[in-house]
Structure 1
Amino acid sequence: MNKKTVIEKIKKCLALSKSANQHEAAAALRQAMTFMEKYNIDADDPELLGITEAAILGSGSRKPTVFEAVLANSIARLLNCKAILNGTYKVTPSLGLKKQYSWVFIGFDPAPEIASYAFDVLYKQLKKARSIFINENLKRVKIKANKVKRADLFCEGWVIEATKLVSELNPDKEKTTQIQHYIDQQKNVSNGEATDRNKKTNVNTDRYQDDLSAGLQAGRNAKLNNAVNGGEQHKRLGTTA
């Protein structure tokens, strides 16, 4: 048997081991242990636990902006996942070989795939909202650095509002621990060191607070609807761009 088939059989045995029938439960647990020993499957094997990964490209930067990092990590918390950055090399016509960083969502299937799709949807909405804000509210700002900082603050407000419900959820601590153990076994992973372009800016002025408020207001228009089909397969998240 291939590993996938063995894993499925072990999972079924472990499910039966929770039976109210004492003898059936004991027999199923023995069978699961026999399979694990015979095929050298560890109890912490990610496939046995059901841990999977799904990657999605954001800005591609090794040090993404604060609002991008907050968006990724908020979505991860929503779905009991962990979000890390993973760099891979990509050949580009202009720059040749370039390292590009993607967000990788790690969790129990199918959560990572849903999380990656949710990030993609909201990140695209955020970029569109940022562009509109710059064109409509910052067209008179001549200094590029100031325009970028103010747009960043708008985006931070947008993300705060768009992910407000996420921060109030309580993560499954057992699952989170298992996922973190899986991540700790990996190499060359990063939780993402964010770039704060407003770090040295006095954001308490009326102008910057207005930018933040505009982001909060715009973030209320973000759309993300999660549907699950029959408890088995998830449908793609409904969105409006």
Structure 2
Amino acid sequence: MNKKDVIEKIKKCLALSKSANQHEAAAALRQAQALMEKYNIDADDAEMLGIQEAFIAGSGSKIPTVFEAVLANSIAKIMDCKALLNHDVQITANMGFKKVHRWLFIGFDPAPEIATYAFDVLYRQLKKARLNFISTQLARVKVKANKIKRADLFCEGWVLEATKHVSNLKPNENKLNQIDEYVKNKRKVKTVEPKDRNSKTNTNADRYQNDLHAGRQAGKDAQLNQAMNGGQQFEKLGAGS
């Protein structure tokens, strides 16, 4: 197979990786990774297929939290993609309408699909870590607003640790310029400031610094599915991937 055919096959495997069947999804990811390694497919080879888009739900919030936005943008940087929050209207089962807010990754194939996979895996781990922190460390906190704020700080620490090597990456300016031009022509972009529930909190206080530190400690365990081990892009996370 030539590289274009291989990349097309990789794309099909990545599509199958979204299957609700856990075993089928894992097998598809292993196949995609095996093909990438066997044929030495990297991000530069993917340019021949042009710029593509891929969506992933995340929290579904119209205004995402700081930690969710940092996670999405860090993964986008790893994959030489752009991460945008997309707002859409979908038809419901009873023929009504609802607003849907999803993360949109834009880049050269197959980077956007891989980025959505990475975001999905890490965001699920983050939510699980958050629930565990709330149930164990914040069990005695009675005021709900305070509990949410402290859990947010934990999540910020988690994301900072899980993506700590991203700042050292050198972006592919040529690709990003092409993606920017694509976005300019295809998408209407509205800048939204992420939600920071601790903007008026004295986060230098010991209690809040401890929450942040707890998040960083938990973030050391962040890792992508074993099926994707060995992928150079994921190794850039520097968090056990």
* Fold equivalence (TM over 0.5): yes
Does the aligned pair in 1 maintain the 2:54–2:105 contact within 8 Å? yes
- For 1:49 and 1:176, locate their aligned partners in 2 and report how far apart those are by CA, in whole Å: 16
Q: CA deviation at 1:168?
A: 1.2
Question: Against the structure 1 CA distance between its residues 215 and 194, is the aligned structure 2 distance closer, same or farther, given a 3 Å change threshold?
Answer: same
Contact in 1 for aligned 2:130/2:154 (Cα 8 Å): yes
Residue deviations 1:155-210, cap 9 Å, x none?
Answer: 00000000112221111011011101111112333454310000111100000000
For residues 72-108 of structure 1, give each alpha carbon's deviation from its aligned partner in whole angstroms, at most 9, with x where no partner exists: 00000001000001112235579x5321111010011
Residues 83 and 191, structure 1, Cα contact 8 Å, conserved in 2: no
For 2:136, the aligned partner's letter is: E
The number of residues matched between the two structures is 185
CA distance in 2, matches of 1:133, 1:93: 36
What SS does the aligned partner of 2:186 have? coil
- Mapping for residues 162-241 of structure 1, pairs under 5 Å: 162-190=162-190, 192-224=192-224, 225-227=228-230
Cα gap change, 1:162 to 1:154, in 2 (>3 Å): same
Q: Say yes or no: does 1:149 pair with 2:149.
A: yes
Instruction: Name the counterpart of 2:70.
Output: 70
Cα distance in structure 2, aligned partners of 1:185 and 1:205: 46
Q: Distance in 1 between matches of 2:106 and 2:78?
A: 13
| SS of equivalent residue, structure 2 residue 105 | strand
TM-score, normalised to structure 2, is 0.71
Pairing 1:119–2:119 present? yes
Instruction: Name the SS of the counterpart of 2:61 in structure 1.
Output: coil
Cα distance in 2 for residues equivalent to 1:165 and 1:99: 35
Show CA shifts across 1:13-67 (max 9, x none): xxxxxxxxxxxxxxxxxxxxxxxxxxxxxxxxxx977111110000111210000
Structure 1 consecutive aligned stretches of length 4 or more whose deviation exceeds 4 Å: 91-94, 225-229
Task: Give % identity.
Answer: 62
Counterpart-to-counterpart distance in 2, 1:206 and 1:71: 25
Alignment RMSD: 2.4
Instruction: For 1:211, give the aligned amino acid.
Output: D
State the shift of 1:226 in Å.
5.0
Structure 2's unaligned 5+ residue stretches are 5-46, 233-239
| Map of 2:36 onto structure 1 | none
Asked whether the equivalents of residues 49 and 109 of structure 2 are also in contact (C-alpha less than 8 Å), the reply is no
Q: What is the identity, as a one-letter code, of the residue corresponding to 1:150?
A: R
> Hey, what's the Cα distance between the residues in 1 that align with 2:92 and 2:209?
39
CA distance in 2, matches of 1:87, 1:77: 22
Q: Residue 4 of structure 1 corresponds to which residue in structure 2?
A: none
Q: What amino acid maps onto 1:118 in structure 2?
A: A
Structure with larger Rg? 1
Q: 1:214 to 1:150 in 2, by over 3 A?
A: same
Which secondary structure state, in structure 1, belongs to the residue aligned with residue 189 of structure 2? coil
Q: Is contact 1:67–1:156 with CA below 8 Å preserved after alignment? A: yes
| TM-score of the aligned structures, taking structure 1 as reference length | 0.71
1:132 to partner: Cα distance: 0.1
Q: Structure 1 regions of 5+ residues with no counterpart?
A: 1-7, 9-46, 230-239
| CA deviation profile, 1:122-173 (whole Å, cap 9, x unmatched) | 0000000000000000000000000000000000000000011222111101
- Aligned in 2, Cα 1:125/1:190: closer, same or farther, shift over 3 Å? farther
